[in-house]
Structure 1
Amino acid sequence: MGTRWTISTPEPLPADAVDAVDAEIDRIDRAWSRFRDDSMVADMARQAGRYPIADTDQPLVDWYRRLYDLTGGAVSPLVGQTLADAGYDAIYTLRASARVPVAPAWDAVIGEHAGALELREPALLDVGAAGKGFAVDRVAEIVGDSFDDFVVDAGGDMVISPRSRGLRVALEHPSDATKAIGVVSVAGGAICASASNRRVWADWHHIVDPRTASPAREVLATWVIAPSAMEADGLATALFFTPAAFLRGDFDHHREGFHHVTIRRNGSVEHTAIPGLELFL
């Protein structure tokens, strides 16, 4: 998945749990990666049709539809071809085509999406906005069967088991990866980040507005604390395009809601009243 995984537990994971983690990450990758030729996503890019969705993966598809509606199409799985033509393709060309197209509308391409994903025409999907968080949740579920105390970390997207004393998590400086701009305390749930300083080439980075085929410019970095990593990951991307107040008003299916920190290019910082938040600004 293009990231490094770290699983922290009081004792080593049992061998069968390690095997289950490996198998689940590989299964998700084979289904949803646009960087491998043998994935379901690669098949979708070659041919329209009806593609079964695993029961475990239905929440990811449903969450994408909700994010698409909440952001007015700014977070869309149909951004895949836009990213590829911009240079962020399967072989990391990192050279933009002369013309980078906007993504098509969801309803123009995707029909049914319950139990199966119906594509009316071939399309290159990209679930990077929430897919890694989804994978972290799946791994955390496996690890949680063996230990009550754990941290699953995939490149900074983390699920932390409930604890009486929060785990201090550094917020990476968006302009200097060797520094932190702050620290938060997370006593359970998930924290995910998104930043425009990752996967950067020429005038592009990987957070692209599918409606305009241009990278997001006003926001530098976001962090979200939410009940699940899938939700935190998707919201961290959504904050590049949509005000937090609007997203929060529609994030009503969890009593806990979500917390966030947003750093804008003009130097301003927006954040909720996160317990244990320290900002070094």
Structure 2
Amino acid sequence: MSALPPCVSWDFEAIGVPWRVDTAAAVDEADRHRILTVMREFDRDWSRFRDDSSVARLAAGEGAVRAPRDTLAMLDTLAAAADATGDAVTPLAGDALQAIGYDAALTLRAGPPRPAPGWREVLSWSEDRIELARPAVLDVGSLGKGRLVDLVFAELSGLRGPVAVDGSGDLRTRGVTERIGLEHPYDRHRVVGVWEIRDAALCASATNRRAWGDGLHHVIDGRTGRPVDTVVATWAVGEDAMHADAVATALFFDGGPRLAHEWGVQWVRMTSDGRVDYSPGCTAQLYTR
């Protein structure tokens, strides 16, 4: 992302990826500590890559866990994305991802595809609890990083002046215009367009990221357990990063554009044959039109 003029940048790593916060004035030590605590708690609650998380306890058969503070926001949004895509997006994508090698140990050794279990039959949640009728792997990867961007952004709400939070490509801004290149999924040295955003969030997803083996990557169809192969990259701009992130995932499937329209999210997506589609009224400057 482009720098704020003038700005102070804070670069750090969390949940396994680089982050950058740009602000008009330095983020003090107390605010940094609070932000990092929020991020550690989020990882402890939702990561399927650590054995002490709430997700891991449910997968191990605990049956019910205390609901983290983000439960209603994230799982309600995930349920809406599942409804829109006919369960191609699913809260229980973890089993299918593990089957193709994207597991807690990152073995990246693929076995036979495993469709995700029907989440409506086994998963329930409330403000207080998350329950699973049988062990399964909850996965919030389709919107989790966007949600965390929003949480960090909220912690900076008291700062005066422009703010930009960049969680490795999931970006939210206030008081500054950011000009963002839309990276070509087949050539990282090219872009398919440029999108300017202000007081908004942009999230992206692509099949060339977190990819391994022959055609294996992290964007899977929960109904089949197989990685998608028709859409290769998506970009979504909305008021907050969680909904933009969810739409960026849903756009890999039929129903994604309708969901974006319902939530007021603009979008661009590129298919495997090189075509680029975009939403009505999309403000991105696309070089492939």
TM-score, normalisation: structure 2: 0.90
Alignment of 1:1-281 (within 5 A): 1-97=15-111, 99-163=112-176, 166-202=177-213, 203-251=215-263, 257-272=264-279, 273-275=281-283, 277-281=284-288
Deviation at 1:123, TM superposition (A): 1.1
Alpha-carbon separation, structure 2, partners of 1:121 and 1:147: 48
Alpha-carbon separation, structure 2, partners of 1:250 and 1:167: 25
1:254 aligns to what? none
Counterpart residue identity of residue 69, structure 2: D
Alpha-carbon separation, structure 1, partners of 2:65 and 2:200: 31
Deviation at 1:249, TM superposition (A): 4.6
Q: Is the 8 A contact 1:184 1:274 kept in 2?
A: no
Deviation at 1:230, TM superposition (A): 0.5
* Alignment gaps of 5+ in structure 2: 1-14
Deviation at 1:243, TM superposition (A): 4.1
Counterpart residue identity of residue 110, structure 2: A
Alpha-carbon separation, structure 2, partners of 1:191 and 1:245: 16
**Structure 1 residues 78 and 56: alpha-carbon distance in aligned structure 2, compared to 1, 3 A threshold:** closer
Alpha-carbon separation, structure 2, partners of 1:250 and 1:180: 28
Q: Secondary structure at the match of 1:104?
A: coil
Alpha-carbon separation, structure 2, partners of 1:8 and 1:185: 17
% same residue: 37
Deviation at 1:30, TM superposition (A): 0.2
2:9 aligns to what? none
**Structure 1 residues 56 and 248: alpha-carbon distance in aligned structure 2, compared to 1, 3 A threshold:** closer
TM-score, normalisation: structure 1: 0.92
Structure 1 or 2: larger strand share?
Answer: 2
Counterpart residue identity of residue 64, structure 1: L
Deviation sequence 1:80-122 (CA, Å, 0-9, x none): 011011001112111112x231111112211344431111111
> Which piece of structure 1 moves more, 5-14 or 113-122?
113-122
Q: CA RMSD in A?
A: 1.5
Deviation at 1:260, TM superposition (A): 0.4
Deviation at 1:148, TM superposition (A): 3.8
Q: Secondary structure at the match of 1:55?
A: coil
* Alignment gaps of 5+ in structure 1: 252-256
> Which piece of structure 1 moves more, 196-205 or 265-274?
265-274
Deviation at 1:51, TM superposition (A): 1.6
